[in-house]
Amino acid sequence: MATIIEALLAAIDHHQSGRLAEAATLYGRILEADPEQPDAAQFLGVLHAQTGRPADGVRLLRRALALRPDSASGQSNLAGALQTMGDAAGAEAGYARALRLDPLLADAHASRAGALRDLNRVPEAARSAQRALALLPASADALVNLAETALAERRAGEAERLAGRAAALAPGSPAAQMMLGSSCAAQKRWDAAEAAYRAALDLAPGYGAAWGNLGSLLAGQGRFDEALEAFAMAEGRGFSGPSLWSARGGALLAMARPVEALADFDRVLEARPGDAGMRWNRGFARLLTGDYDGGWPEFDWRRHDSRAEPPWRRFAQPTWIGGDIAGRTILLYAEQGLGDTLQFARYVPLVAERGARVILEVQRPLISALSDLPGVERLVARGDPLPDFDLECPLMSLPRAFGTRLDEVPTAVPYLQPDPQRAASWSGRLADGSGLRVGLVWAGNPRFPGDALRSPR
């Protein structure tokens, strides 16, 4: 009859060889025979964390540490399970405890880098990864974590080089391939990114995070059905959370399925109630469902999104959100694309009708098109000096100020008039043509994140 030590060695061999079911069975039998066997408890805890049962893993790893509290590897393994559960703060504290017990534990330095990065302590994360590499220069995990810190600091080229080194050192590492994919995606090299994500999944078909990243990539390319399949694969393998819900909600929104998108955005905001960008997305989804009362206030959260590029403008004057405005001077201004300005300019005459003096600031190419817009006292090109004013309001916030509902969108058209000389010139140029005359907008602003989905190349 095999001794417990012999059974433990056999279980470890199964574990290291990827025969996880056999390993789990043997670890379990050892613990039935000796509930206080610390190695079996620790390794079974690690196995559970690796196979999508991190809560069970944490329970067993705590049990192992109660039996052997001075185990640096045990502290590090517990931290890893907590990290898998999304508890970055608990994981970082666990890695710190492990390193107090054994400052030379390279794996703990490498993994701690990931927890520090998740806590947005990026410089510390880089130092931790570099310490791991100093102790173990061939550590693929340390290279991956260092690559992730580089990517967090928007040094995607460096991240790709580090991930490439990790993949060369450990060709069987799905984490290295995934990091390679993320660094390529950050450089908009979509084909290379997809190939790397799929390589990670070839190595580890149950790698939920890789399925999630692949889904986000596919959604960004307009391959929405494939993206939803990838998101479902991710969740089926235990990977979920705000990043996945946000990406899937965006895909559903683009597929004109706003009710389903709202469910995902609501879940994100339960976890991150102060996420201005997500409040903006939820407002947009509500508008698409026809819920203008709920949509316009949330759509205004766009002005608080610190990630917007370029940043939202700030004025000392208060924002007009409705009410009496007679006798006041208000600055109305364009904020996003040319099409948005042309669309929302329909509200400008309504502001003037309330007795306000209107200064309208728009993009310079639209000055001619908007020069005869009724109610404008002064038209200014963006970037030119502004005259004094009492209140401000971006054009796309005017529907909220007017309390617009679905059946109340201003429909007085045309509210824009073509320049007579240009109209006459084009009439002459097209006079010889016959049949229907159709104008095509063939491209949008290339800086718009979704431009690849709307502008032919």
Residue 410 lies in a domain: yes
Predicted confidence at residue 396, as pLDDT, reads 95
80 within 8 A of 49, measured Cβ to Cβ: yes
Predicted confidence at residue 309, as pLDDT, reads 66
At residue 288, what is the residue type? L
Confidence check: pLDDT of 426 > 80: yes
Number of Cβ within a 10 Å radius of residue 316: 5
Distance of CA 197 to the CA centre of its chain: 17
Six token digits for residue 211 = 């399925």
- Give the long-range contacts of residues 117-125, CB within 8 A, separation 24 or more: 117/145, 117/148, 117/149, 117/152, 118/83, 118/88, 118/91, 119/88, 119/89, 119/92, 122/149, 122/152, 122/153, 125/149, 125/152
At residue 136, what is the residue type? L
Six token digits for residue 148 = 């992730």
Ramachandran category for residue 251: left, alpha or beta (phi over 0 → left; psi -120 to 50 → alpha): alpha
pLDDT tens profile 365-389: 999 999 999 999 999 999 999 999 9
Total structural domains within the chain: 1
Range from 75-79, 85-89, 163-167, 199-203 carrying the lowest mean pLDDT: 85-89
221 within 8 A of 452, measured Cβ to Cβ: yes
The DSSP element (H or E) to which 378 belongs, if any, is strand 376-381
Range from 52-56, 75-79, 82-86, 447-451 carrying the lowest mean pLDDT: 447-451
Residue 134 lies in a domain: no
Q: Where are the beta strands (DSSP E) in 248-349?
A: 329-333
b (16+ CB within 10 A) / e for 103-126? eebbbbbbbbbbbbbbeebbebbb
Taking residues 328-350, report their average pLDDT. 94
Confidence check: pLDDT of 1 > 60: no
> What is the pLDDT confidence band of residue 449, given thresholds at 50, 70 and 90?
low
Residue 433's beta-bridge partner residues? none
Bigger pLDDT: 178 or 56? 178
Nearest CA to 11 out of 58, 49, 43 is that of 43
The CA-atom distances, in angstroms, between 422 and each of 115, 219, 364 are 61, 41, 18
Alpha carbon distance 85, 55 (integer Å): 7
Predicted confidence at residue 320, as pLDDT, reads 96
Residue 115 lies in a domain: no
Alpha carbon distance 218, 19 (integer Å): 33
**For residues 92, 111, 200 and 161, what is the CA-based torsion angle, rounded to 10 degrees?**
120
Mean pLDDT of the chain: 89
pLDDT tens profile 285-299: 999 999 999 999 999
Alpha carbon distance 276, 303 (integer Å): 8
pLDDT tens profile 218-247: 999 999 999 999 999 999 887 888 889 999
Six token digits for residue 239 = 């990977």
Q: Please spell the DSSP secondary structure of 138-192, one letter per residue.
A: T-HHHHHHHHHHHHHTT-HHHHHHHHHHHHHH-TT-HHHHHHHHHHHHHTT-HHH
Taking residues 329-339, report their average pLDDT. 92
Predicted confidence at residue 194, as pLDDT, reads 97
Residue 406 lies in a domain: yes
At residue 333, what is the residue type? Y
Q: Note down the domain range covering 407.
A: 329-420
Number of Cβ within a 10 Å radius of residue 387: 11
Taking residues 53-61, report their average pLDDT. 86
Residue 386 lies in a domain: yes
Residue 404 lies in a domain: yes
Number of Cβ within a 10 Å radius of residue 51: 16
Residue 381 lies in a domain: yes
Predicted confidence at residue 212, as pLDDT, reads 94
Range from 41-45, 321-325, 330-334 carrying the lowest mean pLDDT: 41-45
Predicted confidence at residue 345, as pLDDT, reads 95
pLDDT tens profile 293-317: 999 999 999 888 877 666 788 899 9
Q: What percent of the chain has pLDDT over 70?
A: 98
pLDDT tens profile 99-127: 999 999 988 998 898 899 888 898 998 89
What residues have CB less than 8 Å from 421, skipping those under 6 apart? none
Alpha carbon distance 300, 430 (integer Å): 43
Residue 213 lies in a domain: no
Taking residues 13-17, report their average pLDDT. 81
Residue 262's beta-bridge partner residues? none
Number of Cβ within a 10 Å radius of residue 334: 21
Alpha carbon distance 27, 83 (integer Å): 23
